[in-house]
């Protein structure tokens, strides 16, 4: 016999707004593409620059906008004076051939110095880190940029090797207003080629690297002269101890 109770109605499923599923699918696809680009893009670009010279850097383009021009002439490491390699190692990164991109001891010393003298910041970056920043990134001190710098440093150490890192560094580093790399600087300041730079000239070019818009390699002031002599003296140690042998044949 029927109880007379009406069966409970099953509530209807709530309808989704039209097009919402398509919107989120599009968002997921865009995010997927971005992740793919971030994963594949940097290694691919590093691989390309392993064989091809960078056409320009962000800093170069910024200086052009500032009206400083751009004199940038790529030269293979075989056409750059070994004295310039020795000077760069002597002044910027004495452990260049030994580390894998990062000099922890130099970083700790730089941090200790900066804590004591915050108005006179000292950098602890290796030539590998400076090259990663110069070629792929923009010039500031943000944590984002430093993180990306570390990532690119690992990549160039793995894909390029020391000789290519030094070659690229000496070709793109800023050596004066609108002057980039060994060849442009040698021609501008000493009216010679990068291959013909003397030991003293090489030391003079590297001496201005901490402040290339302020200091001058040609007709230098007393401070740059003193710094040049100091680098010149260290170059003998680099040569005698084989500290640049991973670059110089």
Q: What average pLDDT score do residues 65-93 get?
A: 97
Alpha-carbon distance of 187 to 103, in angstroms, equals 33
Q: What is the pLDDT of residue 115?
A: 58
Domains of the chain, with CATH numbers? 39-241 (1.10.3810.10)
Rg (CA), the chain: 27
CB 170 within 8 A of CB 61: no
Size (the chain), residues: 249
Interval 11-33: pLDDT, tens: 555 555 555 677 788 878 887 77
Cα–Cα distance, 62 to 48 (Å, whole number): 23
Q: Which H or E element spans position 65?
A: helix 58-65
3-class DSSP string for 80-102:
CCHHHHHHHHHHHCCCCCCCCCC
Which residues, listed in sequence order, are joined to residue 176 by a DSSP beta bridge?
Answer: 179
What is the average per-residue pLDDT within 214-225? 94
Q: Across residues 107-124, what is the average pLDDT?
A: 64
Cα–Cα distance for residue pair 70/168, rounded to 1 Å: 17
DSSP-derived secondary structure letter, 177: T
The residue ranking higher by pLDDT, 23 or 197, is: 197
d(C-alpha 100, C-alpha 48), whole Å: 21
Asked if 168 contacts 135 with a C-beta cutoff of 8 angstroms, the reply is yes
Choose the weakest-confidence range: 108-122, 152-166, 169-183, 213-227.
108-122
Answer whether residue 100 shows pLDDT above 80. Answer: yes
């Amino acid at each position: 016999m029927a109880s007379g109770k009406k069966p409970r109605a099953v509530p209807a499923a709530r309808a989704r707004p039209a097009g919402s599923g398509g919107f989120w699918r599009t968002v997921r696809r865009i995010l997927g593409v971005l992740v793919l680009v971030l994963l594949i893009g940097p290694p691919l670009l590093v691989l390309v620059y392993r064989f091809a010279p960078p056409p320009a850097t962000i800093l170069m383009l910024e200086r052009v906008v500032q009206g400083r021009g751009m004199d940038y002439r790529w030269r293979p490491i075989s056409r750059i004076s070994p004295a310039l390699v020795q000077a760069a190692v002597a002044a910027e990164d004495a452990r260049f051939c030994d580390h894998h991109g990062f000099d922890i001891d130099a970083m700790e010393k730089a941090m200790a110095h900066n804590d004591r003298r915050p108005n006179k910041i000292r950098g602890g970056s290796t030539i590998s880190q400076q090259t990663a920043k110069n070629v792929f990134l923009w010039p500031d001190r943000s944590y984002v940029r430093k993180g990306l710098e570390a990532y690119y440093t690992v990549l160039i150490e793995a894909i390029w090797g020391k000789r290519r890192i030094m070659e690229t560094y000496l070709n793109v580093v800023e050596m004066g207003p609108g002057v980039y790399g060994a060849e442009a600087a040698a021609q501008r300041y000493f009216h010679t080629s990068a291959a013909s730079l003397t030991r003293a000239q090489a030391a003079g070019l590297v001496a201005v690297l901490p402040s290339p818009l302020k200091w001058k390699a040609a007709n230098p002031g007393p401070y740059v002269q003193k710094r040049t002599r100091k680098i010149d003296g260290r170059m003998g140690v680099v040569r005698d101890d084989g500290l640049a042998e991973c670059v110089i044949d």
